[in-house]
Amino acid sequence: MIHHIKLIAALSFLCAVALLVAQKSDQPAVQDFEVEGVGLWQCQCTALACPCQKNGSPTHGTCFAADVAHIKRGHYGKVKLDGLSVAMVGNLVDAKPERLFATLYVDQKASPEQREALTRMVHYMSDQYVAVPGDPVLPFGKAKPVPFEFSESDAATTYRVTIPGILEEKAILKRNADGTPASTIIAMDDWSNIVHNAENVVFRYHDREVDKAWDESGHYANVKYFHLTRRMYDDKQMLGQHGDMSGVWTPEQKEIIRKQGLKDK
């Protein structure tokens, strides 16, 4: 009888393990990706001086922000992403993880396969970001397909983003006489380790469906030109993967800065 009980217990354990393995195998793996484009970040931190970019805590504790990326060319797995835009909007950086929230807005003109690819890629990147070790990943309340308007002026100085009825952004990137951005900094960012400080002209957000709204016009903004691959994340080469909100670069971040020859300009 005891042998039968032990056998039943062993079989039950094996069935449970098999179920967990099956559930894990059902979860789609993150595909290889490579994307190039331009991004716009705006938030409530002080203009030209967002401490989050330098491994610090947000100026106001919360960081109500929009992280927009326009992909000029790229792919996720076999799915092309050329010409598509995506945005994360919410309290994106916070030392108190219970206050974090985000909504993902995906370009409405994307096909179902492209929307799925963009969503999976951004979720993966967000999961890799570490503001403070041990913090939970950024919680996405919703992922919504929306009409997306992203524009870049001919001189690459004025950037506008519009999600009608939800998000309005405008930023101006000052350039030197030789055409290079006037302010370049090493930064923690999902898309790049280098960003360019910009003037936040308009940053208004109001989404009735998620019951969130703010106007942070005149606060912080940056523009970045990215060429990002999954391999960079796999190799832990993004500064945003090694944060601790200490206000100084961690040893891992210092090594990345040294290896990549990154400099503020």
* Any domain includes 5: no
Share of the chain above pLDDT 90, in %: 83
* Any domain includes 8: no
Strand residue runs (E) in the chain: 33-43, 64-76, 79-80, 84-91, 101-107, 140-146, 149-152, 158-163, 167-172, 184-186, 194-197, 199-207, 212-215, 220-229
* Any domain includes 12: no
Sign for the CA dihedral angle at 33, 34, 36, 38 comes to: positive
How many structural domains compose the chain? 1
pLDDT in tens, 72-84: 999 999 999 999 9
* Any domain includes 241: yes
pLDDT in tens, 98-151: 999 999 999 999 999 999 999 999 999 999 999 888 878 888 888 999 999 999
* Any domain includes 133: yes
* Any domain includes 215: yes
Give dist(CA 257, CA 45) in Å, integer.
24
Per the structure, the complete domain to which residue 199 belongs is given by 33-260
The band of 28, judged by pLDDT with boundaries at 50, 70 and 90, is low
pLDDT attached to residue 16: 37
* Any domain includes 19: no
* Any domain includes 109: yes
DSSP string, 190-226: SS-SEEEE-EEEEEEEEETTTTEEEE-TTSEEEEEEE
